[in-house]
Amino acid sequence: QACTFPCQCPHQPLQCPAGTSHVWDACGCCKVCARQLGELCSLHRPCDHHKGLYCDFSKIHRGSGICLAHEGATCDLLGKIYLNGESFQPTCKLQCICMDGAIGCIPLCSDDLRLPSPECPKPRRVKFHNKCCEEWVCEEGSEENHFGTAMAVFREDPAHKPKLNNLQENCLVQTTEWSTCSRSCGMGISARVTNNNPQCRLEKETRLCMIRPCDFSMEKTKKGKKCVRTPKQRQNLHFEFSGCTSTRSYRPRFCGSCSDGRCCTPFLTSTVDVEFRCPEGDFFQRKMMFIKMCSCHYDCPRDNDIFLATHHRRMIGDHV
C-alpha cells in the first residue's frame, strides 16, 4: 500500500558498508542496503537474506521488526564465539561474518600491487599514523635515474622514451600462475597477480573454482592404477555462487582421488567467463576455472574457508 508508481529512486549510487548486500525493497523499485543481524527492519528495509537473515515482526510493533538469523552453528575464532549471521571485525583490515559455522571475510584495505612506472619510478607502501591501511607513495629519485627503475617493465626501445599516455603498448605483460583452489570441495576462489591492464600495474585477479562437488561420488580405481581419471559430468549442471545461478549449464570435469593416499588436484586448467543471475534479477560475470587434467601429489592443500585461503600450490599450463 505504501508503494508509489512510477518508481522514484535516489539518483546517487548506493553506498553500503563493506560486506553488505544490495537488495530490492518491498515494492521491487529500488535497491537498498540490506539490514544486518540485530538491526531494525521492515518491508522497505529488508534483512540480508544472502546471510540467512529474516525480519521477525513478533517482537516490535507498528510494521517494524528485528533481523534474526535462521538456526545454524556458531563460529569460534581465537576463543571468541560468534552467532550464526553475526558480522564482526577481528582486525581493522577485515570484515567477517559467521555463516553456519564457517567464517567468511572480505578485506577492507586495498591489496593491489604496483609496478614502477615513468610517473612513479619508486612506489612504496607507507603506514600512516591513525590509519589502518597502508597507502602508496612515490619516492622522487635523481633526475638522471628517473626512468631507470621504471624501464624494467617496459620494452627496450632506444629510439623512443616511454610515452606517459601509451603505457599499455610498451608494457611487458607479467602474470603469475593461478594459486590452488581455496576449497577441496564446493565453490572456492583462486588468485593470481598480473599487470595486463591499461595502467601496466600489478593487480590481484581472482576466479571461481570447483575441484569437485562436496557430494561427489569417487569412482573406483582399476587394478594397478594409482590415480582415478578426471571424470566428466554425465549431465549438465548450473553453478551456484552467493545465492545466484549460472545462466548457462555446463558439463565440467572434476578431480577424482588417488588410491595411495596422495591428493588429486587440478594440473591443467582453462579460465572461462561465466554469467550468473541473482534472484533479484541482477546479472554479473565471474571468471571461473575449468579443469582439463588432474594429477596426484603429496603436497596436499589444507581445506580453507573460501575467503581465508592461505595455501598456494601453483598449477602449470593454464590457458585463458
Question: How far apart are the C-alpha atoms of 221 and 264, rounded to whole Å?
Answer: 13
With beta carbons less than 8 A apart as the criterion, state whether 273 and 246 touch.
Answer: no
Cis? peptide before 121, omega within 30° of 0: no
DSSP state of 168: H
Per-residue burial over 285-315, b if 16 or more Cβ lie within 10 Å, else e, is: ebbbbbbeebbbeeeebeebbbbebeeeeeb
pLDDT at 274: 93
pLDDT at 92: 86
Residue 39 is placed in which grid cell?
Answer: 538491526
Ordered by start, the domain boundaries in the chain are: 186-216+223-297
pLDDT at 271: 92
pLDDT at 57: 81
pLDDT at 165: 41
Does domain 186-216+223-297 match CATH 2.10.90? Answer: yes
pLDDT at 248: 92
pLDDT at 82: 85
pLDDT at 60: 67
Length of the chain: 320
With beta carbons less than 8 A apart as the criterion, state whether 83 and 74 touch.
Answer: yes
Instruction: State the 10-residue block means of pLDDT for the chain, 320 residues long.
Output: 76 82 83 88 84 79 80 81 84 83 80 68 81 81 46 47 54 84 86 84 87 72 52 79 88 84 84 88 88 82 43 41
